[in-house]
């Protein structure tokens, strides 16, 4: 085989190899392209390992969300937060509550009369206390959030008594749009 033929054969095999490998390589690239995007509502949730959670969360956040701990009243991040925004799950980022249903309960914990969407939280009976309570957790990752009681304000009559450590607050940015130069001159 002369040099020209050998070069042609080499080029052909490289091209064929690239075409064969390309679809797989592309899907790997596509998966890795945006690793930090929050999961969408429909994305299947892959439960995190205990080690991953310990790396991601503070000791308090881990204790509250994984061991159903309770943070101290009045000594937590959001009990008196009056800013407009969303309260998302600290583990999986699901939107749990918003400032629209937050109210002053006087308990020292952030309190809401309704979740953002009823499907975003789930419940189970908690018999650990001396009376029966309803435990509230994230419906996607099962992080413990707090409890719900029947002494809340209208319209629901519910009091979602949450732990700040189970949530991260995302403030709503002002959406007032300043007129552009073009709009001003019209």
Q: Is 92 a catalytic residue?
A: no
Q: How far is the CB of 36 from Zn ion (least distance, A)?
A: 17
Residue carrying the six token digits 């790396």 = 55
Both tokens of 99, joined, read 């400032």
Is residue 64 a contact point for Zn ion (CB under 5 A)?
Answer: no
Is residue 145 a contact point for Zn ion (CB under 5 A)?
Answer: no
Question: Cα separation of 90 and 154, whole Å?
Answer: 28
Interface residue with Zn ion, options 57, 136, 141, 166 (CB under 5 A): 141
Can you list the alpha helix ranges (DSSP code H) found in the chain? 3-33, 50-56, 59-67, 181-185
Q: Which of 156, 134, 153 is nearest to 145 (CA)?
A: 134
Return the number of the residue (140 or 159) whose C-beta is nearest Zn ion.
Answer: 140
Is residue 165 a contact point for Zn ion (CB under 5 A)?
Answer: no
Is residue 96 a contact point for Zn ion (CB under 5 A)?
Answer: no
Active site residues: 161
Footprint of Zn ion on this chain (CB under 5 A)? 89, 91-92, 94, 138, 140-141, 143
């Amino acid at each position: 085989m002369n040099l020209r033929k050998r070069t042609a054969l080499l080029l052909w095999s490289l091209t064929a190899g690239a075409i064969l490998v390309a679809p797989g390589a592309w899907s790997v690239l596509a998966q890795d392209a945006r690793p930090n995007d929050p999961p969408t509502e429909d994305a299947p949730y892959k439960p995190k390992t205990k080690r991953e959670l310990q790396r991601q969360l503070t000791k308090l956040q881990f204790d509250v969300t994984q061991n159903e701990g309770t943070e101290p009243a009045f000594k937590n991040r959001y009990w008196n937060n009056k800013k407009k925004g969303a309260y998302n799950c600290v583990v999986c980022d699901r939107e749990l509550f918003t400032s629209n249903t937050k109210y002053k309960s006087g308990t020292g914990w952030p309190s809401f009369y309704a979740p953002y969407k009823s499907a975003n939280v789930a419940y189970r009976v908690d018999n650990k206390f001396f009376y029966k309570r309803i435990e509230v957790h994230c419906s996607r990752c099962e992080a413990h959030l707090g409890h719900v009681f029947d002494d809340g304000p209208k319209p629901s009559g519910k009091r979602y008594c949450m732990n700040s450590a189970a949530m991260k607050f995302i403030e709503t940015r002002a959406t007032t749009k300043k007129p552009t130069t073009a709009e001003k001159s019209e």
